[in-house]
Amino acid sequence: MDGPDAAWYNGITELKGGIFLFTDKRSRRLVLAAHCLLNQNAISDGTADYPGTHEEVARLLLEEGVGILQLPCPELCCLGLDRGDPLGASRPVTVENTRIRREMERPEAAARLDALVEQVLLQVREYHRHGFSILGIVGVNRSPCCGVETTSENGRETAGRGVFFQRLLDALAAEGLYLPAVGVKSGPQAAERVAELLRGRTPLEPDV
Ligand code: SF4
């Protein structure tokens, strides 16, 4: 469908001959969301705040008719469900997060991260070339991988991005895609931050 035989506007693809694609019920609006916002089973031991999904964020996106591109969980994909240490939950969260961050910065994990980023890029490129609205990306603050405004380093929650989100946002920017990003934690304020993102505004204060 690439090339002069197709045109795109408002998320609708028109092929040569007046054939239109994507005129069904889809909203053609989506956000990218950290995996555990939709699947708390993936989160590191001891840190799940919901049985299944981040309820406030999921409810908001459902009500808004926004599709959710669920990102892979980089820690699960690179380190496993127990993050390579079954005693992780016995440590303070930011201490364990710092250990996880170090593991994720090793060359083997970093190579896997690049492959995960590429999988996301493939999907984003498709939506983008068909003119869908990618409204932004929602991460998880304090996470060593998916933090947006804050991450974990040196045993503390610090300003900065997680290693996966940094790579992903850099890769998107390299293709000219500058997506607004917010980080959330558990609780109703998370939905307020995502609502701001949907309105095209990035909240000024981080969710810490
Ligand atoms: S914050 Fe990222 S790395 Fe951590 S559990 Fe969620 S998706 Fe996985």
Please give the distance, rounded to the nearest whole angstrom, from the Cα atom of residue 150 to the centre of ligand 1: 13
Q: To 5 degrees, how large is the angle CA 46–CA 50–CA 55?
A: 150
Ligand 1 pocket list (CB less than 6 A): 34-36, 42-43, 73-76, 140, 143, 145-146
> What average pLDDT score do residues 55-73 get?
98
What pLDDT shows up at residue 19? 83
What pLDDT shows up at residue 7? 73
**Is the pLDDT assigned to residue 117 strictly greater than 90?**
yes
Q: pLDDT tier at 87 (50, 70, 90 boundaries)?
A: very high
**Is the pLDDT assigned to residue 9 strictly greater than 90?**
no
pLDDT, the chain, mean: 93
Q: Tell me the whole-structure pTM to 2 decimals.
A: 0.92
**Which atom of ligand 1 is nearest to 42's Cα?**
5
What pLDDT shows up at residue 203? 63
Torsion of CA 117, 118, 121, 126, to 10 degrees: -150
